[in-house]
Structure 1
Amino acid sequence: MRRNTSIVLLAVGHACVDIYQGAVAALIPFFVAERDYTYAVASGIVLAASLLSSVAQPLFGLLTDRWAMPWLLPVSTLLGGVGIALSGLSGSYGLTLFFVAVSGIGVAAYHPESARVARQASQGSHSAMGWFSLGGNIGFALAPLMVAAAIGHGSLHWTPVLVLPALVGAALCVPVLRMLARPQTGTTKTQTPRSADDVASFVKLSFAVVFRSVVFTGLSTFISLYAQQRMQGSPTAGTVALFLLFLGGAVGSVLGGSLAGRYDRVRVSRWSYLLSVAAVTGVIYTPGPAMFLFVALTSVGLYVPFSLQVTLGQDYLPSRIGTASGITLGLTVSIGGLISPLLGHLADTTTLQTALTPLIAMPALSWLLFRTLPEPAVSATRTVKPAPATARQDA
């Protein structure tokens, strides 16, 4: 019961934080419409959130491997919310980039420590980690709806309203941290030697996550604008497409944790990346409302491996769980944002459809890398019961 309560609260807190990752993409159409930004300039906002986040998350991971910093959860949640809340108040492009970057640092600080805490609370359960990831996906899905509700009928000056989820998320962190701070009777933790690390497999996994990040970030940045183009300029079509792209991730995360209980994580991830190749192709080239079906399939296909990749990374680097979380949840995911300006420049010089076409190759590359990965035999988080008193005396 204690584990379930902690995971539920962590999942809701994760949702509150990832609203701010989704909000960056959801704000792009409003920046384009209200400030006349080009595709390349608008995608620079995504770059600002991703660049600092990509550098900061592994650093925070290294720190959490040395020192437990649970206080980062509420502090980073507030930082992520304040940055987005202030991003629409100034017409200055430089200040907008700065505030979005502040939010990105908050998100960066949150993920490595939250993944470590979730791993501790879940006791190594793939299903529980899937629920934790589900929270983040729900946050992504809610972001375009919250942005549309806050500023859709007004202006960017309404962005301060978006600080509310951060206040809720920070408050939810407190009871979780108190529960986990209480000693658990009957269990002791064993230290994992660094010789157990499979660095080669972790590097391959990291590249697979990078390719997944490129396609997901590219679509999340431009799918709203692309759907509006395909549906005769309807802004509702853009909001629906972005909502489906994020909501499908919620289904994918739970499905991934369930499938991992029946099959190994590597095999499930390979299947999902093959599905993603076909789904991304459908998003870009299928005409009419059928596009929305392929958006949902793409989201599911890209998110089935998401939580599985986090636990795989932790199992490949069992002595450095914080670092593994910072890279799989942070660096590799954020690198996708670095590609967005290139896609924006290509869209400005050609068409948006042409710019999105290379994304079809990304899940195929992830599939190829997963074909070379082994399934770790033992979970990285080892919690063992102490031997009975009689057995200790006999020893």
Structure 2
Amino acid sequence: MTAQELPPSYFRHQSLQLPILLGVAHGMVDAASGFLLGRLPHTVPLEQVALLIVAYNMLAFGCQPLFGLVSDRLRCPRLMVWIGLVGLSAAVLLVPQQTELAIALAGLSSAAFHVGGGALSYWATPEQTTGTSLFVAPGVVGLAIGGVLGFGQYEVAAVLAGLLLGVAVAIASVRLPALPDASPTNVIKAPTSEAAQETAVLLLIVAIALGSMVWTGSQLWLLGQAAWIIGTAIAAAVGKLIGGWLAQRWGWRRWTVTALAIAALLLATGNTPLQLLLGMACLQSVVPVTLAATIRLMPQHSATAAGFALGLGILLGGIPVLAGFSLFPQAIAAVIGVLAGAAIALWHGLRPSSLATPRSTTIPHSIAIRADAKQG
């Protein structure tokens, strides 16, 4: 049977295989990172814990654009995914013998994985948020569970390493989507000037940073409350999945601004656990859109774009919180202002490229799922 004779449902199923696997891998990667960070109070003096956590975050988030540049230059996003999975598997086995080395290796490996996975998840379903939502959703749950396992000193290092290597093998068996660098005719160009696109990317990074500030502040506020941390992580994962689905049907701009408005209302006025969880779900529901939109604006530099969305923006938002600027619980009113700023940035940042009403991909499914041996 030729590609033309295959039903559309076949191609839709094929296009989702890679994002689902990458999502599972994302959960494993962040679980391994959380496990390492959770073990720190038991493996190093307490005065070194904060320093190592900061070092990990600087490497894991700050280095993503650098790995993205390398990935785009060499057209090797799957290689970056493999580097991340293999590196994390080695890192979890190094603790507690070489804790500092394990943290450094984990940070660099996480950075490599996120840019490769982010780029591939988008091009599996180009111009849509389906692939990016499947990719980003499991990460936060893995981080929370891994942190609890590490802090509880559960001996699961070998299990985590085995799972990481297993999913690496599974990803190796899946056909890659066609990246724009491999065939310039497949690039979905934005009908805006270069200056407008750069401004839009900057606005998206600002929006991501402001959202990250609220999320990081909430997690520090809940520090030590394992049930709450896991609960908000699950809410965030569900929010990302639902948000990716709703944004694709309702419009990227309309959904993100509406979701942030609801999040601000719930977090600023909520007095019940349900309101907090729903607020966090709405907050995180915009992540698939910001990732897809950043790549959409930088189609030939998709891994670098993923590094901006999943790395640099999140790091910039976390710095004020780590420096002592607290939003929870005493500065709840500031949450409204921060999220209002994020909504304004998204409204203007998503205006170029007709991102308010994303169209279905113009790349034929038979092209989008083809194997390309050069795509790492």
TM-score range, shorter chain: 0.7 to 0.9
Percent of residue pairs identical: 19
Contact 1:81 1:162 in 2 (8 A): yes
Of residues 262, 266, 276 in structure 1, which corresponds to 2:253? 266
CA distance in 2 between partners of 1:109 and 1:21 (Å)? 13
| Counterpart amino acid of residue 288 in structure 2 | S
Of residues 243, 264, 274 in structure 2, which corresponds to 1:293? 274
Contact 2:207 2:341 in 1 (8 A): yes
* Structure 1 match to 2:140: 140
Of residues 110, 118, 122 in structure 2, which corresponds to 1:119? 122
* Structure 2 match to 1:279: 266
What's the C-alpha RMSD, in Å, of the aligned pairs?
3.7
* Structure 1 match to 2:59: 52
| Aligned: 1:364 with 2:361 | no
* Residue aligned with 1:383, SS: coil
Matches within 5 A, 1:300-315: 300-315=281-296
| Counterpart amino acid of residue 168 in structure 1 | G
Matches within 5 A, 1:27-38: 31-32=40-41, 37=46
Of residues 67, 75, 84 in structure 2, which corresponds to 1:76? 84
The 1:31–1:298 alpha-carbon spacing in structure 2 relative to 1, beyond 3 Å, is: farther
* Residue aligned with 1:320, SS: helix
TM-score, reference length from structure 1: 0.73
Cα shift at 1:203: 0.6
CA distance in 2 between partners of 1:74 and 1:111 (Å)? 11
CA distance in 1 between partners of 2:178 and 2:328 (Å)? 50
Cα shift at 1:281: 3.2
The 1:195–1:366 alpha-carbon spacing in structure 2 relative to 1, beyond 3 Å, is: closer
| Counterpart amino acid of residue 224 in structure 1 | L
The 1:261–1:55 alpha-carbon spacing in structure 2 relative to 1, beyond 3 Å, is: closer
Cα shift at 1:245: 1.5
The 1:75–1:322 alpha-carbon spacing in structure 2 relative to 1, beyond 3 Å, is: closer
* Structure 2 match to 1:213: 212
| Counterpart amino acid of residue 163 in structure 2 | P
Cα shift at 1:82: 3.0
Instruction: Give the total of aligned pairs.
Output: 346
* Structure 1 match to 2:322: 341
| Aligned: 1:173 with 2:171 | yes
* Structure 2 match to 1:105: 108
CA distance in 2 between partners of 1:324 and 1:14 (Å)? 18
Query: Gapped runs of 5+ residues in structure 2?
Result: 1-9, 367-376
Contact 2:214 2:335 in 1 (8 A): yes
What per-residue deviation string (whole Å, max 9, x for no partner) do you get for residues 167-224 of structure 1? 2321221112x45489xxxx95248599754111111111110111122233334423
Contact 2:71 2:80 in 1 (8 A): no
* Structure 1 match to 2:202: 203
* Structure 2 match to 1:232: none
TM-score, reference length from structure 2: 0.77
CA distance in 1 between partners of 2:93 and 2:228 (Å)? 24
What per-residue deviation string (whole Å, max 9, x for no partner) do you get for residues 340-395 of structure 1? 5323xx78xxx984588866643232123224331522769753699xxxxxxxxx
| Aligned: 1:12 with 2:21 | yes
What per-residue deviation string (whole Å, max 9, x for no partner) do you get for residues 293-320 of structure 1? 2332132112211111111112233343
| Counterpart amino acid of residue 199 in structure 1 | E
The 1:21–1:146 alpha-carbon spacing in structure 2 relative to 1, beyond 3 Å, is: closer
